[in-house]
Amino acid sequence: MNTTDTTFLLGYIEQGIGGAQDPLTPPISISRNGSLAKWRGKMHVLDLRVNDPGLQHNREAFVQTLQKAQTLGIKVVVTLPEYVGRSYPLPPDLPPKKDAPPPPPPPKNYKKPENLVHFRPCYLALPSSVEGNRAYAPLSTDDCLPIIEMAAEYGVEHIIVPVSEPGIFIDPQAEAKFKAALKILTAEAGKRQIKLHLRNGGISHAVFRKLRKESGCGMAFNLGIAHLESEDMIETYRQFRNEITIVMLQQVQSGLDKISARRDAMQKALKDFLAAAKDHQQAIAEKDEYYAEQVLKRWHAALREYYDAARNQFMNLGLFQNGDLNLVPFLKEVRKDIEAGHQKILLVEAVPNTRNTDFVMRNVMPDSFPGSL
């Protein structure tokens, strides 16, 4: 794909490497929807979300993705960790019922998961409203510096820094802590010619302006988050158009309450899952076959409840689907900047497919753009 005559880059997401699963269901990661090679010539950039603080578990997998992207001519934007995964063994299969027909064969290339991976949100500074809440995990600059170093090795020029969860705004205490962390990360990124972009969500415009003035950071503007926080996304874009290089396109249905309800339901199901796992282990140790079978059913029921709770029904819909956002006027606003020669990186936070790509291209591609995806 020829991008030399345009300042518009279109890309998708990869967040399914750290923890070996995508934090969202259905998954929006390229790796969960075909190989990266399949997208050669069909996208310009990959948002590699490194959900592995300190690169303690999956560094080699991230390096392989960076190398493959280089080979395919796909640029990479890196996002610092927003989730940290923890794996739990799955229950053994239930014994087949008497006279039950055999189960249908699994889909082609199906690989049965070995673990349940539960992701906790992690941020550089947790607001006091959630600090100490076990549903969240802390993140340190030491967790982020190896990621910046790895990104620099492969020529990454932009790194996205998630600030907080939608609707959970950093307070003065968290702001001071985040400011100190950002100062360290900005210095290290600057040495490597990498620019940091703070993602909206949990950060007010006033706080962003202060951090921008002190660090020179840009803004990675997520439309779905802006809508959930009741922002006028076009007005916000107009205010910060010079600071916004990266735009994350989503289609969503309204309701911060739905996000918190999903998280709470996942936490409850996980608690039941772990309790059943413990009881099953005890029943096996005591050689109580009847109780072990009953607990195994409860263990499987908790697993189903977890997967049901994890299903992402309200965010990351197809851009072309019906939702709360009218994306066309916004994309026309972005198009003005593209036609004026300003670089814009548009990242589609949805299941990668040609319908999402075509939707963006129809509304953003300047008339002078020489080709298509």
What is the pLDDT tens value at each position of the chain, 373 positions in all? Answer: 444 456 889 999 999 886 567 888 888 999 888 889 999 888 999 999 999 999 999 999 999 999 999 999 999 999 999 999 889 999 999 988 877 787 788 777 667 778 999 999 999 999 998 988 888 999 999 999 999 999 999 999 999 999 999 889 999 999 999 999 999 999 999 999 999 999 999 999 999 999 999 999 999 999 999 998 999 999 999 999 999 999 999 998 877 677 788 888 999 999 999 999 999 999 999 999 999 999 999 999 999 999 999 988 777 788 988 889 999 999 999 999 999 999 999 999 999 999 999 999 999 985 544 444 4
* 308 and 318 co-located in one domain: no
CATH number at residue 220: 3.20.20.150
pLDDT (0 to 100) of residue 316: 77
Within a domain: 126: yes
Domain boundary among 279, 298, 313: 313
* 51 and 179 co-located in one domain: yes
Within a domain: 96: no
> Domain total for the chain?
2
pLDDT (0 to 100) of residue 100: 74
Q: Which residues contact 24 (CB under 8 A, 6 or more apart)?
A: 15, 312, 315, 316
Q: Which residues contact 48 (CB under 8 A, 6 or more apart)?
A: 14, 17, 62, 65, 66, 69, 76, 77, 78, 79
List of E strands, 157-206: 158-162, 195-199
Within a domain: 373: no
Q: In what order do the strands lie in the sheet with 115-123?
A: 83-89, 115-123, 137-138
* 170 and 212 co-located in one domain: yes
pLDDT (0 to 100) of residue 370: 43
Q: What is the DSSP string of 32-80?
A: GSS-GGGGTTT-SEEEEE--SGGG-S-HHHHHHHHHHHHHHT-EEEEE-
* 304 and 343 co-located in one domain: no
Report the candidate in 115, 124, 203 with the shortest Cα–Cα distance to residue 166. 203
Q: Which helix (H) or strand (E) segment is 146 a member of? A: helix 141-153
pLDDT (0 to 100) of residue 112: 75
Q: Which residues contact 167 (CB under 8 A, 6 or more apart)?
A: 202, 228, 229, 256, 259
The C-alpha atoms of residue 28 and residue 10 are separated, in whole angstroms, by 15
pLDDT (0 to 100) of residue 66: 97
* 220 and 168 co-located in one domain: yes
* 167 and 293 co-located in one domain: no
User: Strand pairing partners for 76?
Assistant: 46
Domain boundary among 313, 334, 353: 313
Within a domain: 98: no
pTM given for the model: 0.92
Q: Is 85 helix (H, G, I), strand (E, B) or coil?
A: strand
* 268 and 319 co-located in one domain: no
* 343 and 318 co-located in one domain: yes
Report the candidate in 152, 147, 121 with the shortest Cα–Cα distance to residue 134. 121
* 347 and 337 co-located in one domain: yes
Within a domain: 80: yes
Cβ atoms of residues 51 and 14 within 8 Å? no
Q: Is 372 helix (H, G, I), strand (E, B) or coil?
A: coil
Within a domain: 2: no
* 196 and 235 co-located in one domain: yes
Q: Are strands 83-89 and 115-123 parallel, antiparallel or unpaired?
A: antiparallel
Domain boundary among 280, 298, 313: 313
**Domain that includes residue 136, residue range:** 8-86+109-255+314-364
Report the candidate in 46, 54, 41, 39 with the shortest Cα–Cα distance to residue 16. 46
Within a domain: 91: no
* 221 and 128 co-located in one domain: yes
Cβ atoms of residues 350 and 356 within 8 Å? yes
Length reported for the chain: 373
List of E strands, the chain: 8-14, 45-49, 75-79, 83-89, 115-123, 137-138, 158-162, 195-199, 218-222, 244-249, 344-348
* 227 and 260 co-located in one domain: no
Q: Number of helices (H) and strands (E) in the chain: give both, helices first.
A: 10, 11
pLDDT (0 to 100) of residue 372: 44
User: Strand pairing partners for 46?
Assistant: 12, 76
The C-alpha atoms of residue 125 and residue 131 are separated, in whole angstroms, by 9
pLDDT (0 to 100) of residue 109: 66
Report the candidate in 184, 103, 116, 194 with the shortest Cα–Cα distance to residue 156. 194
Within a domain: 82: yes
